[in-house]
Every structure is written in C-alpha cells, then in structure tokens.
C-alpha cells in the first residue's frame, strides 16, 4: 500500500485536530505543516513527528511529494489556496465555509472540477454514525416518503466577540452545518428559505449585526419541509437532535451522552447532560471524514461531501440571511441568478 503524504495549511484548533486524527490512519503521513505563527506550532509538530514546519504555505504546494492538502486557514484564504492547489493537481480538503462570497466559492469549485482534483468540504456531520444510519433509513424507504425534517442544533456557549466579527453570522457559521445535513438526509435540493432570528442571549450579537437565536424553514424540491432551530447557548450542553417524519413512520436521532446510566427515584428520572462540546460529540465523525478523503486519494472512491455540496449549503445560508433581513421567504434560485443562473446548480 502506497503511503499518502499530506500537508496542513493552518494549524489552529481544527488543524491540530485533523493532524492528530490522521495519525490513526494507516499508510498516511503528514510531511509539512504551515502557519503564520510558525514558532507557536513547532513543539506540537515535533511531538507529532511532523518533519517540516513553515510559515509559507507555498512550500507545501510546491512539494511534489505531497499528494494532498488540508486547508484549515482563515476563511478569506480558502478559495485562493484551492485554486492554486487545483492547478498543480493536489487534492484538497477544506474547512467550511469555502468562502463568504458565492462568486468566489463557485469559481473555486469550478477550478477544482476543471482540473480533476477532489475537493472535499468539512461537513463532518455526514460522517456521524447516527446520521448515516438515518440517511440509510431514508434511502431504504423505512420511513416512506419524507414529509418533515426537524433539526435542533444548539451550542453550549456563545463564541467570543472577536469570533463573531469574522464568523459570517449564525447562518454562514453555525447553521450551515445543518443546511448541509438537511440536504444529505432528505436527498433533495432546497427551493425556498424562510428565516427568523432574534437576540435573546447576548447584546454583543446585536452590536455586531448578528442574532443568537434563529429558526429556518426549508422547502425542498421533493415536497418535504425542513425546520431548523439554532441557539448559541443551551445551558445543558451541546444539543444535536434530528427527526425525519414520513409516510411510513418516523426516525429520531437523540443527543450523544457520556453514558446511558439513569437514576430512577420517587422524585423523578435523572441522567447526565449531553456531551458538552462539538469535538466530543463528533470526534469519530472527524476521523471518518479524513478516512473518506484518504480513500479518494488512494482508491478514487467518491467523497461523501463535495465542493458542490459546500456551494449549495452557502446558497441556503445566503438565502436565510436575506430572508431574515427582508422578513420574507426567499427562493434559492434568486440567489443562483445573482452569480450566473440556476443552470450552474442543476448541471452538477
């Protein structure tokens, strides 16, 4: 089995997580990591057995021994690096969102396709064992024709003000995971989006032009209706629940818990709170998305989530932002038309 050589661009929290997960995969090595704060990552890289550290990501792109790259750098650098990597034939795993601007995202996705590289986007929830089981039930017809999808997605604590400033807002930063999961589970495209949001947790969100609580209604092209509720603060932990209701029945995915123990007393039934952090809840999903990326490089197996999926989720997010602002439902085709028309969407 040929060894796969990787480079990681951007070594913050998520870059380090991917690096540590890659160590669990057979026949894969990280040759080089790059970060502008290069001195801050040298010890980590040494402990990880990574031989090369640089402050210039072009050192990774120019290395012919490196088969593929992971882009974990700030969002405003994503499309530039994707296009540069695509033109020299390196496969790319890129964290979400691809960009804050749909025109840039489309261009990057088109460049990747034109150069025949894999562009996998970091929507790790598709790789969660519970959600994969739910998707399979939909495919197998176990719940019949999908009528209603409900997604609850609530963080345990709000992010810092510095993070909010550059996040793109609740829809492009947080709910975008749910938009992708909704497309994956229903197996259809979103035609219309209606979003409402409020500031109910922290006035910092209002000051920065964002909301901390939102509900989004999605209308799918196959007739299904999706309801997503998001909150930046659930005091009891990381709340991630999904329900698919259809003509033959209903399937539910509950939260993951640290254990399944319950205390039954005369005063009630008690159990521990859900896992409190997204890295705990989706730890194995992060490993599986890396395994999928490597499987494409080694065997050509189509990735579960593509650059086009990243673009579609961004279109829904932009429709939600516009809906919130204009206080009315927004057709997703109106978002497409702004950047070249619906034919681009349907051709993929």
pLDDT tens-digit readout, 54-74: 999 999 999 999 999 999 999
DSSP 254-312: ---BS---EEEETTEEEEPPBPSSHHHHTHHHHHHHHHHHHHHHHH-PPPSS-HHHHHH
- Tens-digit pLDDT profile for residues 140-183: 999 999 999 999 999 999 999 999 999 999 999 999 999 999 99
Flag whether pLDDT at 344 surpasses 50: no
Domain boundaries in the chain?
A: 4-124+285-304, 126-277+310-346
Which CATH fold would you assign to the domain 4-124+285-304? Rossmann fold (3.40.50)
Residue 134 has pLDDT above 50, yes or no: yes
- Crossing angle between the packed helical segments 13-22 and 38-48, to the nearest 10 degrees: 20
Task: Name the helix (H) or strand (E) containing 336.
Answer: helix 332-337
| Domain spanning 126-277+310-346: CATH 3.30.360.10 | yes
At 341, the pLDDT band (50, 70, 90 cuts) reads low
Q: What is the DSSP string of 167-208?
A: H--HHHHTHHHHHHHHHHHHTS-EEEEEEEEE--S-HHHHHT
């Amino acid at each position: 089995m040929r060894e796969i050589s990787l480079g990681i661009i951007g070594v913050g929290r998520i870059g380090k997580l991917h690096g540590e997960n890659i160590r669990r995969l057979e026949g894969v090595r990280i040759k080089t990591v790059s970060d502008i704060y290069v001195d801050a990552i040298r010890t980590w890289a040494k402990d990880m057995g990574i031989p090369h550290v640089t402050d210039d990501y072009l050192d990774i792109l120019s290395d012919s021994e490196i088969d593929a790259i992971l882009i974990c750098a700030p969002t405003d650098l994503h499309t530039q690096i994707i296009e540069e990597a695509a033109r020299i034939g390196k496969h790319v795993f890129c964290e979400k969102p691809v960009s804050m601007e749909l025109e840039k995202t489309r261009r990057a996705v088109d460049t990747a396709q034109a150069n025949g590289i894999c562009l996998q986007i970091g929507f790790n929830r598709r790789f969660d064992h519970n959600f994969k089981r739910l998707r399979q039930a939909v495919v197998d017809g176990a719940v019949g024709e999908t009528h209603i999808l409900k997604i609850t997605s609530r963080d345990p604590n709000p992010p810092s003000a510095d993070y909010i400033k550059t996040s793109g807002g609740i829809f492009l930063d947080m709910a975008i995971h749910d938009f992708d999961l909704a497309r994956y589970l229903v197996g259809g495209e979103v035609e219309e989006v209606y979003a409402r949001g409020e500031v109910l947790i922290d006035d910092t969100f209002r000051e920065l032009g964002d909301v901390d609580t939102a509900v989004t209604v999605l209308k799918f092209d196959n007739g299904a209706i999706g309801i997503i509720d998001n909150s930046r603060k659930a005091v009891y932990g990381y709340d991630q629940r999904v329900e698919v209701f259809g003509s033959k029945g209903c399937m539910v995915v509950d939260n993951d818990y640290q254990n399944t123990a319950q205390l039954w007393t005369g005063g009630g039934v008690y159990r521990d709170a859900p896992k409190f952090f997204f890295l705990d809840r989706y730890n194995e999903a992060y490993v599986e998305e890396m395994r999928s990326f490597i499987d494409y490089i080694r065997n050509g197996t189509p990735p579960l989530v593509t650059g086009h999926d990243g673009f579609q989720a961004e279109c829904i997010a932009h429709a939600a932002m516009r809906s919130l602002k204009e206080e009315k439902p927004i057709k997703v085709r109106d978002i497409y038309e702004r950047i070249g028309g619906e034919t681009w969407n349907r051709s993929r």
